[in-house]
Amino acid sequence: MPPSVRPEHLVDEPANSDRFIGGLSESIGGPMGDHAVRSSVRLPGGGRFWTPARVVLLLICAMLSFHWVQKSPCRDAAWADMKQYKYFCYTDVLALYYAEGLNEGQVPYAEHDVEYPVLTGAFMGVLGLPIHDLHQRNIIDNDGQAFYDVNAVVLGAFGIIAVAATLAVRRRRPWDAALLAVAPALFVSATVNWDLFTVGLTAVAMAYWAKRKPVLAGVFLGLATAAKFYPMLIIGALLVLSIRTGKWRDFFITVGTGVATWVAVNAPVAIFFRDAWLKFWDFNQLRGIDWGTLWYIGAHFPRGNGQYGFPFFQNLDLDPEHSTLNILYLGLFLICCAGILILGLTAPKEPRLAQLAFLIVAAFLLTGKVWSQQYVLWLIPLAVLARPRWGAFLAWQVAEVLYFVSFYGELMGASGRQVFPEGVFVLASILRLVTLAIVVGYVIRDIRHPEEDVVRQTYEGQDPDGGIYNEEPLEDDLLNPPPAPALARTG
């Protein structure tokens, strides 16, 4: 090997390191050989335009464009004859433009209670109110369509940011980000709600943590939590690693900055519009068993002879306060968190940050009483960072798409036009749960056997997301480019 090409700067090639991709590559002649790789690499200053990072960014732009086309039948707010279900194009973005009073120029929280955290409500208002104003001036005809299109562009930008942040922490494994860019569940769920906004902020927070920028990591983590609740769970992963390594300074800086940022965003609304601010908390406290959850499966599982569900689960949903349900799902989640803590403290080597973050968020969804279709977007970037293996990932993604399709059939049935028996939707829900649980099992195995972890193999045992938890900074972290060109084959 030439002296300028050092092993620590080799870039992973999935066709050589991933059995699933390697098998697929056989249909086009097999993985690229060393001679072809070497002859295709160009030195800095004379390199090729289509680098892996640029290809991945092109893929995410294409995927988001295809998603917009898939949702386009619903851009017209006239959803007659259940069009939004038949064409799988329903989106909260357009529905809530009217439901939250944005089409009437009502300011979120100040003039209309919003069931979302403050930053998401602000996001809705910042985009929605100018569109309402333009519609009032007859500058635009269809304000609902314009609202969806503008949201699709901005949310798409945050999706691209999430991919770019993933590339930033995977400079030796750029093709890992392609898992996020081409994820089938992203194709069907990208603009069902405003979750991509939070996903992008969370990805930036993790990238700054990897770069050892705890203040910026805290700022973006606080912003992400002000938009949705789940990014706060990542603090649990940081806590486990700080206990394991004894490194607390950056942990406290990040958490302190995150809390301060969250308070700064929430305080004005909480002080001046307290009842509106509390709606999010009250709404989630009083929610019952939601579609497709573990609890829903128990309440609707087909038992034969036309009977569905078990009385224990069905009775949980009868209490209007849902106090027992809340205690049970929260207790089950805390048990999972205790297991993750034990796993993190007893593993042969401290787990990677993304592995723990993925396990915690997955446990939150697997045990939770609410598992909306777009929540898969929370998990995809974490899954890509935790275990960038194509086979199990795509199996889980296929299950998510099957669930997505069956969910719309279930909604048609609930609207009076039955498409298939209840058991079909329950089966799709089980398949989604099981395939995600399998990915969780693989991540746990990688933690227990770090030699099986492909990311550690590429990074000589270090964690590219770990930041301060590594003994020393990685030479090619984030914005510091490696001194040698990327060649590569592993395996």
- Mean pLDDT score of the chain, rounded to an integer? 89
Tens digits of per-residue pLDDT, 429-444?
999 999 999 999 999 9
Query: Of 31-35, 45-49, 151-155, 195-199, which gets the smallest average pLDDT?
Result: 31-35
Please tell me the predicted confidence (pLDDT) of residue 9.
45
- pLDDT band at 476; cut points 50, 70, 90: low
Please tell me which residue, 460 or 218, carries the higher pLDDT value.
218
How many CB atoms lie under 10 A from the CB of residue 442? Answer: 18
User: Cβ contacts of residue 418 below 8 Å, gap of 6+?
Assistant: 412
Amino acid identity, position 89: C
Nearest to 91 by CA among 109, 105, 111, 70: 70
What is the pLDDT at residue 438? 98
CA distance 85 to 411: 7
Residues in a beta bridge with 307 = 304
Neighbours of 356 (CB within 10 A): 29
Over residues 164-182, mean pLDDT: 96
**Helix axes of 353-367 and 376-386: crossing angle, nearest 10 degrees:** 150
Domains of the chain, by residue range, sit at 7-469
Quote the tokens at residue 290: 């939601």
Cα end-to-end distance, the chain, whole Å: 16
Cα→Cα distances 458→16, 447, 454, 488, 489, Å: 13, 16, 6, 11, 10
pTM for this entry? 0.90
